[in-house]
Structures are given as structure tokens and as C-alpha cells.
Amino acid sequence: MASSITLKRTCVGLLACAMIVSTTGCKTSGASPTASGGTTSAPQASTQMTPAEKQLREDESRFNKTVFGGVVTGAAMGAVAGGLLAALSGGNRRQIQQGVLVGAVAGGVLGGVDGYATAKKQQAGNNEVRALQSAVADLQQDNARLEQMIATSDVVLREGQQRLASLRTDLAAGKMSARQAEEARKREENNIATLNKALEKARETRTQYSQAGQRMTNDPNNRRNLDAEIAKTDRQIAQLERNISDYSRALAVSKA
């Protein structure tokens, strides 16, 4: 009876673990939704946003849900579910305990880079080359999302620079008060905040794929294609950094 209760408690614990992994694997930046379905880092009327600004928030939200994170979450959920199934399958005590243990260990391990690498190896039947090819395909999808977001950020940057230049001229001409100018700048600050969140996620994703590749193989030649795709990520990160820098500079000039 005590053993049965213990197993049930273990199952509940595994289920809780699965729920935690699911929510953390799909976490967002804590932004609030806009009318267009995107997100913004601070209160901002959706009617004030241009189509490019709305698209930027949608792109950032989409990129935040990387393929990498989805694989890790799916693998962890599958491992925990396997442990629950083993515990409830009606096998003997040792089999049930082993099943629960496997599920618990896998659920605990599959929570990051190690989980991604392990999941890819298992999906590829422990074939190193196929596992790496699958990782390359994942990063290509994440890079495509990042590329789209950067293209949108180019437009938002140009719009913001124009608004900030007009703001400075209007302020100098007495067409708006200092308070109105400060309120207007919040719009640009929100855009920059969105870009910074995307940059943080891009850097994190780049590191995750690099570390996962190293865990999949010790042979640099086998990581050649993955490293090439990571190099593309680096170039996109550099472009995003330039956009943020240019935007921040225009904002600072408007305050001078």
C-alpha cells in the first residue's frame, strides 16, 4: 500500500515536472499583447503603431519560440510521459520503478543543451551525421525567422529615425513641449526594447546550437555545416546590433 502511494506521488511529481518544462520551454518575454497579436514591452496604443512596428512585435514573438526550445520541450514531455506510462502499465514493482526512474532522469536531463543533443541523437538512431543534419535544419528555420525580423527592423529603424528627426525640429520650433517630446520618445524606446529582447534571444540560441553541436560530436569536420549556419547567425546578430546602435544613437541625438 505504501509502495503504491509512493509511486502515485512520484507520478504526480513527474506530471508536475512535465508541466514546468512545458511552460519554461515556451516562456515569452513577459510582454503584453497588442491588437495585432504581437507583443510590446510596455503599454503602447496599437493605433499608434505603424504596420512595420506591429510586424516587428509579431516577428519577435515568433522568433522567441525557437525550434531549439520546441525540441527540448517535446523531448522532456515525452520522457516524462514515458515514465508515467511505465509506472501505470501494471508491470512488476521493479519494472515500474525502473520506468519511473527513467522518466524522471530523462525529464530532468532534457532541459537544455544536453536535452537537445540527446533528443537529436535518439531521433537519428544515434547516427552522428544524421543528428547534426537535423540540427542544421532546425537552425536554418530559426535563422529564417531571425532574418525576417531583421528585415522588419530595418523598416522600423528608418521610420523611427525620421520621427526622431522631426521631433527635434518641432521641439526647437516650439511646436511641441518637452513633455510631449518625452512621451513621443517612449514609442522609440519600446521599439528598441523589442529589438534588444530579440538580440538577447538570438545570442542565447546561437550559444545553444554551438554547445549542442559540440556535444553531438568531437569531430570539427562533422560540424562543418552546423558551424556554417552558426556563422550566418553571427552575421545576423551583428546586423541587429547595428540597427539597435543606430536607433539608440538617433534617440540620444533627439535629446541633445
**Per-chain mean pLDDT for the chain:** 78
The whole-number pLDDT of residue 141 equals 94
Q: How confident is the model at residue 89 (pLDDT cuts 50, 70, 90)?
A: low
Taking only the tens place, the pLDDT of each residue in 9-64 is 555 454 445 444 444 444 444 444 443 444 444 444 445 899 999 999 999 999 98
The whole-number pLDDT of residue 125 equals 87
Taking only the tens place, the pLDDT of each residue in 154-170 is 999 999 999 999 998 99
C-beta atoms surrounding 140 within 10 Å: 13
- Among 60, 77, 88, 64, which residue's Cα sits nearest to residue 19? 77
Tell me how many degrees the CA angle 236-242-245 measures, rounded to the nearest 5.
Answer: 145
Percent of the chain with pLDDT over 90: 49
Instruction: Fill in the DSSP letter of residue 31.
Output: P
- The full set of domain ranges for the chain reads 2-28+50-255
